[in-house]
Amino acid sequence: MSSDDIDVPDFGYLPFDHYVMTKWNPTSPLPATQQKKHLVENWIKLGKYGRREYLREIPDPDEIPSDIPQDLLTRKERAHNGQIERTLFIRTWYGDPNNTESREKADSDYARLIGVISDEYGELGLMMDEFFVFDDKEVISSLQAQSGGEGRDERVEFSDGVAIARPGSMPSYVLTALTHCPDQIDGSRVEDLDDFPPDELIEGWQMLLVIIADRKACEDGWVLHLAINHKGHVLPFRVRDRADYVSTNLGNWSDGQRLTENTLNPEEDVEMYMDHGGSASGWD
């Protein structure tokens, strides 16, 4: 199917469109891509209730100011934004950018990982919409290079290629993925009800499952699973599971099983290895 054949919603259909109309600064010195990233980050931070303000009727084309960009999302992104898929698969390990052998090994290891994941139920692209599989070497590898140090600095997201997902943070790679589908955090057809649970209750709700192919996943087969709440924050309980269980976990989440159902203490700050009977390897 060509890009001309996809069903693309008009500008103003998506809640994020209305946020852009309200918040876009046509006089900003920032490049459009950078201003868009800031808008997406603030959009996610609004949370479930804050975003409901932007559930509005589609405006007539002549009501949209001429200085409001309508192309911040590509046609393909507009067509997918807010769809039923609630899983993001993000590759973050590309090897040492200054070492050709390391880069080639990282590509080989990643191919093996995808092969093992796909062996269970068929190709990854058949288990989830391939649009939500993010493999962008230029963008993600630069994010990793910016935060590759050690220590407890909250801004450090990787240690020697291994993702450090801190509870309460919005990882840069999650934000980067959501810049392509900002309404994915809720879905474009969010129920507009009068009675909602209190904020403190929905803080622990899982809105997205984010599966990370970092160095530990690519080299050792231990794939990181993150539960993301309505503000884009990592929830405390995380899972490292074997590569051959990723498809099972993806299916369980699609059927409504949250990541926290693997623990009796969902508020515990822990990254649990699901060894399925004592295996010391993520490959078997």
Q: Which of 47-56, 137-146, 174-183, 247-256 has the lowest mean pLDDT?
A: 137-146
- If you search the block for the tokens 């993925």, which residue do you land on? 177
Query: What is the structure's pLDDT at 13?
Result: 92
- The amino acid present at 223, given as its one-letter code, is V
Question: Given a cut of 80, is residue 277 above it in pLDDT?
Answer: no
Question: Given a cut of 90, is residue 191 above it in pLDDT?
Answer: no
Query: What is the structure's pLDDT at 7?
Result: 85
Parallel, antiparallel, or unpaired for β 208-213 and 158-159? unpaired
Residue pLDDT, tens place only, 21-37 = 999 999 999 999 999 99
pLDDT band at residue 3 under the 50/70/90 scheme: low
pLDDT band at residue 199 under the 50/70/90 scheme: confident
Query: What is the structure's pLDDT at 283?
Result: 86
Let me know if 237 is exposed, middle or buried by CB neighbors in 10 A (0-12, 13-18, 19+).
buried
| Cα atoms in the 13 Å half-sphere on the side-chain side of 270 | 12
Between 89 and 148, residue with greater pLDDT? 89
Parallel, antiparallel, or unpaired for β 87-91 and 208-213? parallel
Average pLDDT over residues 233-240: 97
Query: What is the structure's pLDDT at 284?
Result: 76
The domain ranges of the chain are 15-77, 87-274
Question: Given a cut of 50, is residue 123 above it in pLDDT?
Answer: yes
Between 275 and 69, residue with greater pLDDT? 69
pLDDT band at residue 246 under the 50/70/90 scheme: very high
Q: Which residues does residue 171 pair with via DSSP β-bridges, in sequence order?
A: none
Give the best-scoring range by mean pLDDT among 63-72, 189-198, 199-208: 63-72
Terminal-to-terminal C-alpha distance of the chain: 38
Question: Given a cut of 80, is residue 260 above it in pLDDT?
Answer: yes
Residue pLDDT, tens place only, 52-100 = 889 889 999 999 999 999 999 999 999 998 888 899 999 999 999 899 9
Query: What is the structure's pLDDT at 225?
Result: 98
- The beta strand positions in the chain, using DSSP E, are 87-91, 133-134, 158-159, 162-163, 208-213, 222-228, 237-242, 270-274
Give the best-scoring range by mean pLDDT among 114-123, 164-173, 185-194, 243-252: 164-173
Residue 242 phi/psi, 5-degree rounding, is -60, 150
DSSP summary character for residue 263: -
Query: What is the structure's pLDDT at 151?
Result: 44
Average pLDDT over residues 140-149: 61
Report the chain's C-alpha Rg in angstroms.
Answer: 19
Query: What is the structure's pLDDT at 124?
Result: 75
Query: What is the structure's pLDDT at 275?
Result: 80
Query: What is the structure's pLDDT at 200?
Result: 77
Average pLDDT over residues 125-150: 75
| Percentage of the chain modeled with pLDDT above 90 | 68
Average pLDDT, the chain: 88
Question: Cα(203)–Cα(215) distance, rounded to whole angstroms?
Answer: 29
- If you search the block for the tokens 């876009």, which residue do you land on? 24
Question: Cα(261)–Cα(252) distance, rounded to whole angstroms?
Answer: 10
